[in-house]
Chains A and B, each alone.
Chain A
Amino acid sequence: MSATKGFFTDTTLCIGCKACEVACKQWNQLPDDGFLFSGMSYDNTVHLGGSTWRHVAFIERPVPLSTQDGAFSWLFSSDVCKHCARAGCLESCPTGAIIRTEYDSVYVQPDICNGCGYCIVSCPFGVINRREEDGRAWKCTLCYDRLKEDVIPACAKACPTESIQFGDLPQLREHAKERVNQLHERGMQEAYLYGASAEDQPGTEGLNAFFLLVDRPEVYNLPPDPVVPTKKVKSAWLSAGATAAGMILAAVGAVLFGGRRT
């Protein structure tokens, strides 16, 4: 039995080289998603999607980091599927195509997925998506094929600054806490962990791929308080049940008290 594996992405170490994006595309033999010019700093990848499983965000801020002088700071962050402890995509998948692997990662089986599209709206992070021509949902596999061979995922392997760290989740969490303390000691008070544990992010019960950020999550296009939709679904089912009962009552009422009979 394997331990829970995950990523710790320390955005303070990211230099925006996009080696992770390239390594991911190359190893997984993913097609391009169009050569579009966004005009958004150095980010022409724009968003995670069906054939983009790593995305480096470039944030140009009109304020410096607390350890810097000047009136500007440039933040980089390599975004990826979070492999949530409670995954919206997995819970909503009607075919059982999305499974939890022995590494506790969330994996889409391409031979099962029928492309219903429900996982796409169920992901609170906007990770999983469908390419129109292919018709199936795709996302980061945590390099399942590499893990099977005891090799670390391509993005972590390619990262030149150890901004992307791969390993056993408990150790990663320990290390991440030390890193935050270290940064605080150096005066970067704004550093914090995003989704490192169930207490940090009760809506997802913790992310297997968590982050160290230095600004609010929104700045990185991450939700501030994400929730797996199924945590709220009970009230919707109760409402549906009550409505169904109301419909039946209305119909029975119409029949019993609907006036004259012939």
Chain B
Amino acid sequence: MNPVVRYAQSVDPISTDGRDIDTEVGTLAGEGARQEVSGSADKHLEHELQPWRQLPMPKAEDPAYYNVPMLNEPVWEWAIPAYYYIGGLTGAALVMGAAAQIGRESGREKLIRRCRWIGCVGTGVSGCLLVYDLGRPSRFLNMLRVFRPTSVMNMGAWILSATSGSAFLAMVLSHPGSRIGKLCGYLAGIFGAGLATYTGVLTGNTAVPVWQASRKLMPVLFGTSAMSSVGALFELTVENAEERRLTKIFGTAGQVAELVSAIAMEKRAGAVPRVARPLKKGFSGFLWRTAMVLTAAGLALGLMPRPSKRRRLAAGLTGTLGSALMRASVEHMGVASARDARASFQQQRAGYGAAEVTRS
């Protein structure tokens, strides 16, 4: 057959994925030949294109390339902020459970059991959320094919596995007097503390300006918010006042520290105003502000004298929402910040790029 005719028959230029390869003559063997696409445009390009009223030229004092992003934005969707919340809650609950094992356990058995139960279910749900968010979920076990300290995500995968394993063992061996069960409970507490805080390192260890600027305070924010989510969840779901006594102290301390670290983070990122913009403006700023108000409301409701059931439930609900929205805000601010090339440029020009660590 005439090659031109054959090409026209085998490659449809309307529905082709752009490779335009006549597989009767050519083979798909290139480095990118196995890349699977549907033929529609790359999603990440679309938002970068905006209708110009006037073609932007590089300004003398504040240059950028047509205001398109310099970085590629995070591809994580709802499952990752959900994991930040649930993983944090799980980790902090295991810390609480481990601490409750200290000394005579009498009167605290229920609390310990509940914390271990949260540990098992929470790490399970966390794992599912993480696998769901992968581009290739079936390859999730590849996370554990190396041990790589430079990769915070790899460390996180190991921390989550260790937390999950020890929480499960503590649950299974929870019959009274089991020393191995108790040891596993303590281990779960230590790994849980890591689980609740490493996610702050994960976001801090990126090129996204607002995340990088917050790298020292994000672990504090995530850890303390994890404490408050435990307190809030117990307020919301546990009827027995004695069981809630310790988590209330733990959660209230967390809420106070969460608010303080959020304000500190805003101030720290504000060293370069453009970097802190997603904390103040847009959807992420709205979420951030709402989360802080809800956390403060939960704290105030919880501290009011003469507690009532209705007030307790309200405190639990606002506290839970506050913690969860805070994680959502962190995710959204990362996307907003990555889309703002000038945030990176101004951050680095102000001396917060490599100069921060390489200047001696």
Q: How far is the CB of A74 from chain B (nearest CB, A)?
A: 11
Q: What A residues does B245 contact at CB under 8 A? A: 258-259
Q: How far is the CA of A192 from the CA of B331 in the complex (A)?
A: 37
Q: How far is the CB of A62 from chain B (nearest CB, A)?
A: 5
Q: How far is the CA of A204 from the CA of B31 in the complex (A)?
A: 26
Of the candidates A247, A248, A254, the one whose C-beta lies within 8 Å of that of B249 is A254
| B9 CB-CB contact with A under 8 Å | no
Q: What B residues does A30 contact at CB under 8 A? A: 18-19, 30, 32, 35
User: When the two chains form their complex, are residues B150 and A243 in contact, meaning their CB atoms are under 8 A apart?
Assistant: no
Q: How far is the CB of B315 from chain A (nearest CB, A)?
A: 17
Q: What A residues does B348 contact at CB under 8 A? A: 223-227
User: When the two chains form their complex, are residues B206 and A138 in contact, meaning their CB atoms are under 8 A apart?
Assistant: no
User: When the two chains form their complex, are residues A32 and B17 in contact, meaning their CB atoms are under 8 A apart?
Assistant: yes
Give 1 or 0 for each of B45-73: 1 = CB within 8 Å of chain A CB: 11011011001011010011110111111
Contact A218/B204 with A29-B33, A117-B76, A120-B72 known, Cβ cut-off 8 Å: no
Q: Which residue of chain B has the shortest Cβ distance to A241 in the bound complex? A: B197
Q: How far is the CA of A49 from the CA of B45 in the complex (A)?
A: 9
User: When the two chains form their complex, are residues A219 and B134 in contact, meaning their CB atoms are under 8 A apart?
Assistant: no
Contact A227/B353 with A118-B151, A239-B220, A250-B250 known, Cβ cut-off 8 Å: yes
A-B contact count (CB 8 A): 389
Q: Which of A11-19, A88-96, A159-167 contacts B (4 or more CB under 8 A)?
A: A88-96
User: When the two chains form their complex, are residues A240 and B201 in contact, meaning their CB atoms are under 8 A apart?
Assistant: yes
Q: What B residues does A2 contact at CB under 8 A? A: none
Interface size on A, residues (CB 8 A): 114
Q: What B residues does A133 contact at CB under 8 A? A: 36-38
Q: How far is the CB of B275 from chain A (nearest CB, A)?
A: 13
Q: Which residue of chain A has the shortest Cβ distance to B130 in the bound complex? A: A116
User: When the two chains form their complex, are residues A96 and B334 in contact, meaning their CB atoms are under 8 A apart?
Assistant: no
Interface size on B, residues (CB 8 A): 123
Contact A92/B152 with A47-B68, A239-B219 known, Cβ cut-off 8 Å: yes
Q: How far is the CB of B3 from chain A (nearest CB, A)?
A: 18
Q: Which residue of chain B has the shortest Cβ distance to A39 in the bound complex? A: B52
Q: How far is the CB of B214 from chain A (nearest CB, A)?
A: 9
User: When the two chains form their complex, are residues B205 and A138 in contact, meaning their CB atoms are under 8 A apart?
Assistant: no
User: When the two chains form their complex, are residues B17 and A247 in contact, meaning their CB atoms are under 8 A apart?
Assistant: no
| A6 CB-CB contact with B under 8 Å | no
Of the candidates A96, A115, A203, A262, the one whose C-beta lies within 8 Å of that of B145 is A96
Q: How far is the CB of A185 from chain B (nearest CB, A)?
A: 26
Contact A223/B70 with A95-B143, A248-B193 known, Cβ cut-off 8 Å: yes
User: When the two chains form their complex, are residues B140 and A46 in contact, meaning their CB atoms are under 8 A apart?
Assistant: no
User: When the two chains form their complex, are residues A34 and B220 in contact, meaning their CB atoms are under 8 A apart?
Assistant: no
A residues 62-94 touching B (CB-CB < 8 Å): 62-63, 88, 91-94
| A132 CB-CB contact with B under 8 Å | yes
Q: How far is the CB of B159 from chain A (nearest CB, A)?
A: 10
| B157 CB-CB contact with A under 8 Å | yes
Q: How far is the CA of A62 from the CA of B57 in the complex (A)?
A: 7
Q: What A residues does B143 contact at CB under 8 A? A: 94-95, 114, 116
Q: How far is the CB of B23 from chain A (nearest CB, A)?
A: 11
| Chain B residues within CB distance 8 Å of chain A | 17-19, 21, 28-46, 48-49, 51-52, 55, 57-58, 60, 63-66, 68-76, 92, 95-96, 98-100, 102-103, 106-108, 133-137, 139-140, 142-143, 145-146, 148, 150-154, 156-157, 189-190, 193-194, 196-198, 200-202, 204-208, 211-212, 215-220, 222-224, 226-227, 242, 245-246, 249-250, 253-254, 257, 334, 338, 341, 344-345, 348-349, 353-358
The contact sample of 16 A-B pairs, CB cut-off 8 A, is: A29-B32, A51-B42, A91-B151, A93-B148, A93-B154, A94-B148, A112-B145, A123-B207, A126-B72, A130-B75, A137-B135, A224-B345, A229-B205, A240-B198, A241-B197, A251-B189
| Chain A residues within CB distance 8 Å of chain B | 25, 27-41, 43, 46-47, 49-53, 57, 59-63, 88, 91-97, 110, 112-118, 120-138, 141, 143-145, 201-204, 215-216, 218-227, 229-233, 235-237, 239-248, 250-256, 258-259, 261-262
